Structure 1
Amino acid sequence: MSYVIAYLATAVVFFGIDYVWLTRVAGSFYRDRLGALMADEVNFPVAGAFYAVYVVGIVIFAVSPALKSGQWQDALIYGLLFGFFAYATYDFTNLATLRDWPVVVTLVDVTWGTTVTGVSAWAGYMITRQFV
């Protein structure tokens, strides 16, 4: 049951923060730099699959270890690390393989992914521990 709570709590936090980032803060940043590469419309089933799978990773690699140790710092540190490695893999691959992929997009996106994942793992842990 604790995994279900951890998953739901982390998913709500991650999706909520990322939604605000993408729709209110950084949407024009990405559009201005990646316009020609971007699809006309978001593929919501694929985006949903990303969120569903990625949150499993956050729970396995950050929230669960923190629940075992009882230390919120573990959720934050492992979440930051998981976010860094996941987003760096995506962005560095794009930088290495796609023509005209902007370095600034890589820097901003990796920073964002690191931050949102760390905060989501921490919040997921803090919420979950209230119920288990």
Structure 2
Amino acid sequence: MNHFLKLFSIAALTFLVLDFTWLLLIARKMYQEQLGSLLGTTKLIPASIFYVLYLMGVLFFVVYPALEKGSLMYALMAGAFLGLLCYATYDLTNLATIKGWPTSVTIIDLIWGASVTAATSGITVFVAQHFNWR
């Protein structure tokens, strides 16, 4: 398996386990209560495209630079910043344009986006460094 596929696999496994745990077990009730009628059924193709593109961005903008620097701390900090930026794009746009979009959902999502992306980046870099995938 080539270098990119190894890193992508680790990042995907990490992100999907964390995000599905978040979406299905932890925050599901909050989203249902706060967003109510705005929620629809999940469309798998757009969701899958998001996950693939997002993880490619995490690798390109965070993981590869962190491996070049040999810095797990860089992976964590840059991952948190990238997650904040990406989740802010969605949530702050919704807050600005959708009537009744809850500020509390935006704040929680921004914290989650920074956290899950930092964790995914950090774990991916940690595993890559452990196995010398540089």
Q: Which residue of 1 aligns with 2:8?
A: 7
Letter of the 1:53 counterpart: L
TM-score (norm 2): 0.94
Give me the whole-angstrom Cα distance separating, in 2, the residues matched to 1:117 and 1:61: 11
User: May I ask how many residue pairs the two structures share in their alignment?
Assistant: 131
2:31 counterpart of 1:30: yes
Q: Which residue of 2 aligns with 1:16?
A: 17
Spell out, residue by residue over 1:95-131, the C-alpha distance to the aligned partner (whole angstroms, 9 max, x if none).
Answer: 0000100000000001101100000000011112233
Letter of the 2:7 counterpart: A
Q: Which residue of 2 aligns with 1:94?
A: 94
Structure 2 unaligned residues grouped into runs of 5+: none
Q: Which residue of 1 aligns with 2:83?
A: 83
Give me the whole-angstrom Cα distance separating, in 2, the residues matched to 1:127 and 1:44: 29
Spell out, residue by residue over 1:17-44, the C-alpha distance to the aligned partner (whole angstroms, 9 max, x if none).
Answer: 00000010000100101011010x2111
1:10–1:124 Cα contact (<8 Å) kept = yes
Q: Which residue of 2 aligns with 1:122?
A: 122
Give me the whole-angstrom Cα distance separating, in 2, the residues matched to 1:82 and 1:30: 23
Report deviation, 1:3: 2.0
Q: Which residue of 2 aligns with 1:51?
A: 51
Letter of the 1:15 counterpart: L
Structure 1 segments (4+ residues) deviating >2 Å: none
TM-score (norm 1): 0.96
Give me the whole-angstrom Cα distance separating, in 2, the residues matched to 1:28 and 1:114: 21
Q: Which residue of 1 aligns with 2:103?
A: 103
Report deviation, 1:7: 1.1
1:2–1:128 Cα contact (<8 Å) kept = no
RMSD value, Cα: 0.9
